[in-house]
Structure 1
Amino acid sequence: MLLKNKLSIKHIIKKPVSGKESTLFLMIHGYGSNEKDLFSFKKDLPEDFFIISIQGFYSIETGKYSWYDIDFDNEKKFINITQAKKTIDKISFFIHEAIKEYKLKKNPVWICGFSQGAILSYAIALKNSDKIKKVIALSGYLENSLFPKKINHYTDLEFFISHGKYDTIIPVDWVKKGLKFLKQKKVLSLFYKEYESGHTLNDTNYQDLINWIKEKHIYSEK
């Protein structure tokens, strides 16, 4: 597992079994984690995905990164909006860059994020809904301030959204506001479930996630 520096964002990859043109499955870790975190899912994902897990821009300490600063003591300034918007632009560019570099399918792209990565995943998907069709948001929420200026059509977007009932970092109420927005936009499908956990994935949540991915993958490949 080699951290690649060739493109604009450091990342690790898992190539598909077949040599055919592949679907990009992009992973975005949470605050204080790194590119190896969600990459552990790879053993359970469909073998024809081209998996890329990216490393955050801001170093917190050795082996721990973030995508933007967080003020845990101030709900109104929880997100550094300026940094987050720049990160959204950079990851959006990276998606185009990676598709070209690794000769991947332009559509559909899957995006999966945890916590801070989930917040970004919502915004990146709405910004790039021409390419991104499957969105996995784990323990995050849809932040209004990060909406793209140009509102694209969202009717072919599919979401897997999960959250811990006892999450003290990102309250469940924050998530539900985003669900209301997505329902109003009439997205193609929306899976949402709360689990007996805090700011993490328990075994049931993980198994539901893997089952959802496999089901949607089989359907999209038909």
Structure 2
Amino acid sequence: MYLFKKKLSIKHIIRKPVYGNENTLFLMIHGYGSNEKDLFSFQKDIPEDFFIISIQGFYSIGTNKYSWYDIDFDNKNKFINIIQAKETIEKISYFIHESIEEYKLRKNPVWICGFSQGAILSYAIALKNSDKIKRVISLSGYLENNIFPKNINYYSDLEFFISHGKYDSIIPINWTKKGLKFLKEKQILFFYKEYDSGHTLNHLNYKDLIKWIKEKHF
């Protein structure tokens, strides 16, 4: 594991692949109040030929705690800072291009995995960059219409893994289901499952996630 404080436009840690050239990028985007080491713990179970990059949020909200945009937990109608979120989508989209060039990775396919705030961003980033991103993992998130890229019709080979806790008090499960409707309308393939958990991943959720990654890996 390496931490690059200055190299490239976003701070990140990586796991280099064991073998191969022009490997596939697996990008991880943590949730609100977490950091780049959180989802990186998955790396021990992810196929060894992925080039894993886990990025750190832009806004510090405590010791080793970061966010990608501000959240108003008391106002569900204005839950997210739209301006900050849109700026973050642009910055991460650029970082994907930058990483592919820097680490000599495949331009297609790219995998993206996000939890909570990172999952919300993953929807928008994937649909904005659907020429590159082909596999999306959305954990305890939802599709936010206010940051959704408009006039995008290219969804070839795009596929989602979506999971949510039945007892999630942070992001209501019905928010996630609205995004499923959109995916169905666009005929985008997805795996969706609800788990007996809150705003977190339980053991079964994690097991299903790793299984899906290995099945879709090519």
SS of 1:130's partner is coil
Matches for 1:64-213 after TM superposition, within 5 Å: 64-187=65-188, 189-213=189-213
The answer for the alignment partner of 1:60 in structure 2 is 61
Partner letter of residue 208 of structure 2? Answer: D
- Corresponding position of 2:9: 8
Is the Cα–Cα contact under 8 Å of residues 26 and 111 in structure 1 kept in the other structure? yes
Aligned mates of 1:151, 1:68 — CA distance in 2: 24
Q: Secondary structure at the match of 1:192?
A: strand
Deviation of 1:150 after TM superposition, in Å, equals 3.0
* Structure 1 residue runs of 4 or more that deviate by more than 3 Å after TM superposition: none
Q: Is the 8 A contact 2:32 2:116 kept in 1?
A: yes
In the TM superposition, residue 209 of structure 1 has moved relative to its aligned partner by: 0.1
Report the secondary structure of 1:186's partner residue: coil
TM-score by length of 2: 0.98
- Letter in structure 2 aligned against 1:84: A
How far has the Cα of 1:3 moved from its partner? 1.7
Closer, same or farther: CA 48–25 of 1 in aligned 2, 3 Å? same
Letter in 2 for 1:207: K
> Percentage identity across aligned positions?
81
Secondary structure at 2:122 match in 1? helix
Unmatched 5+ residue regions in structure 1? Answer: none
SS at match of 1:112: strand
- TM-score relative to the length of structure 1: 0.96
In the alignment, is the contact (CA less than 8 A) between 2:163 and 2:192 conserved in 1?
Answer: yes
Matching residue of 2:45? 44
Counterpart contact for 1:155–1:185, Cα < 8 Å: no
Partner Cα distance (1:128, 1:150) in 2: 13
- 8 A contact 1:127–1:152 mirrored in 2: no
> Is 1:216 matched with 2:216?
yes
Matched position secondary structure for 1:65:
strand
Structure 2 letter corresponding to 1:205: N
Letter in 2 for 1:54: I
Distance in 2, matches of 1:65 and 1:23, equals: 26
Aligned residues: CA RMSD: 0.7
How much has 1:40 moved relative to structure 2?
0.1
Paired residues in the alignment total: 217
**Contact kept in structure 1, 2:73 and 2:79, CA below 8 Å:** yes
3-state SS of the aligned residue for 2:2?
coil
Comparing 142-151 and 55-64, the one that deviates more: 142-151
Query: Aligned partners of 1:116 and 1:152: how far apart in 2?
Result: 24
Given that 1:18 and 1:48 are in contact with CA atoms closer than 8 Å, whether structure 2 keeps it comes out as yes
Which one-letter code corresponds to 2:191 in the other structure? F
Contiguous gaps of at least 5 residues in structure 2: none
